C-alpha cells in the first residue's frame, strides 16, 4: 500500500499535549532526571509534553508571548494541561536586578491575564496549574552572584511574597496550584532541593515531578494509549490494526 493511500485511509493522529510554560526552571526540566523529562516518560504514547521554558523570563514578557505559543487557532481540546511556572525572576530585587524585576501587583495581574487568555481560547481552569517559585537558599545564591561580581539580588522572604500572590491568583481564578515555596520549606534543610540556591537539584527535580504528577495523574489518567501495543498488531494484516 502506498504511503499516500495509507494516509488517506487512516485517521489523522493528533497527540494531546501538556504545555510546560515558565522560566529557566522549566527550560532545564528536560535535562537528565528533570521533572519535565519525568512527565514525558510517564505520558509517552498518551500525549506530548512540550517544553516552553525560557531562561531569565518574567511574567511581563511571558504574557506577551503566550498567544504566540498557544494561539487561538489551536485546538483547545488537544491541550490537556498547561503549567505556568514564573516568579523566580519577577521577585528579583528591583535596585539590584531591574531588568528582571516585576512589581508584586503586576506579577499577580500578569498571571491572572495569562489564565484568562487560556480560558478565552477554550483551555478551562481545571486544565491549568500555577506553580509558585521555589524557596531561595540565599547563601548558595549569593556565591553565584559574587562569582559574577554582583551582590545578592534576591531574598527568600521576597520570593515568598510572590509565591503567596501566585497562590491567591490560583484561588481567585479557580485553577490548581503547586506551592513549592511552602512545600519545600517543610524540610528543615531545603537546600538539598536546589543546585545553586535558585535552580533545582536532582532531588528538587524529583520532588517537583512527584508533586506535579499527583495533580496531573487525576487529570490525565483516562487518556488512552495511542496505537496498539505491538503484540496486539495483526502481523498478517497490520493495516487492520493500525489504520
Contact 83, 129 (CB under 8 A): yes
CA neighbor of 130 nearest in space, from 81, 91, 93: 81
**Of 126, 172, 196, 234, which is the active-site residue?**
196
Question: Which helix (DSSP H) or strand (DSSP E) does residue 5 occupy?
Answer: helix 3-9
Please say if 196 is a catalytic residue. yes
Per-residue pLDDT of the chain (243 residues; tens, 9 = 90+): 555 555 555 678 889 999 999 999 999 999 999 999 999 999 999 999 999 999 999 999 999 999 999 998 877 889 999 999 999 999 999 999 999 999 999 999 999 999 999 999 999 999 999 999 999 999 999 999 999 999 999 999 999 999 999 999 999 999 999 999 999 999 999 999 999 999 999 999 999 999 999 999 988 888 988 898 899 998 999 988 888
In the chain, the DSSP E strands lie at 17-22, 48-53, 79-85, 128-131, 176-178
Q: How far apart are CA 152 and CA 173, in angstroms?
A: 34
Report the predicted TM-score, pTM, of the whole model to 2 decimal places: 0.93
CATH of domain 17-223: 3.40.50.1110
| Sheet bearing 176-178, strands edge to edge | 48-53, 17-22, 79-85, 128-131, 176-178
Please say if 95 is a catalytic residue. no
Q: CB-hemisphere CA count at 13 Å for 190?
A: 21
How many angstroms separate the first and last alpha carbons of the chain?
12
| The three cell numbers locating residue 1 | 500500500
Contact 14, 7 (CB under 8 A): no
Amino acid at each position: 500500500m502506498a504511503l499516500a493511500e495509507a494516509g488517506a485511509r487512516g485517521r489523522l493522529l493528533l497527540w494531546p499535549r501538556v504545555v510546560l510554560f515558565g522560566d529557566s526552571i522549566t527550560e532545564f526540566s528536560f535535562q537528565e532526571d528533570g521533572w519535565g523529562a519525568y512527565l514525558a516518560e510517564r505520558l509517552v504514547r498518551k500525549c506530548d509534553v512540550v517544553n516552553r521554558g525560557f531562561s531569565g523570563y518574567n511574567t511581563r514578557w511571558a504574557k506577551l508571548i503566550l498567544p504566540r505559543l498557544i494561539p487561538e487557532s489551536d485546538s483547545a481540546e488537544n491541550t490537556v494541561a498547561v503549567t505556568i511556572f514564573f516568579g523566580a525572576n519577577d521577585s528579583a530585587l528591583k535596585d539590584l536586578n531591574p531588568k528582571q524585576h516585576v512589581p508584586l501587583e503586576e506579577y499577580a495581574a500578569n498571571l491572572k491575564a495569562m489564565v484568562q487568555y487560556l480560558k478565552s481560547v477554550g483551555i478551562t481552569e481545571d486544565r491549568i496549574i500555577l506553580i509558585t517559585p521555589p524557596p531561595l537558599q540565599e547563601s548558595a545564591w549569593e556565591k553565584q552572584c559574587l562569582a559574577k561580581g554582583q551582590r545578592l539580588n534576591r531574598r527568600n522572604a521576597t520570593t515568598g511574597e510572590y509565591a503567596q500572590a501566585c497562590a491567591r491568583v490560583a484561588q481567585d481564578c479557580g485553577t490548581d496550584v503547586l506551592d513549592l515555596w511552602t512545600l519545600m520549606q517543610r524540610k528543615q534543610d531545603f537546600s538539598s532541593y536546589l543546585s545553586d540556591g535558585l535552580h533545582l537539584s536532582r532531588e528538587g527535580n524529583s520532588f517537583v515531578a512527584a508533586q506535579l504528577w499527583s495533580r496531573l495523574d487525576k487529570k490525565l489518567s483516562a487518556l488512552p494509549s495511542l496505537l496498539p501495543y505491538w503484540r496486539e498488531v495483526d502481523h498478517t494484516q497490520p493495516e487492520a490494526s493500525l489504520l
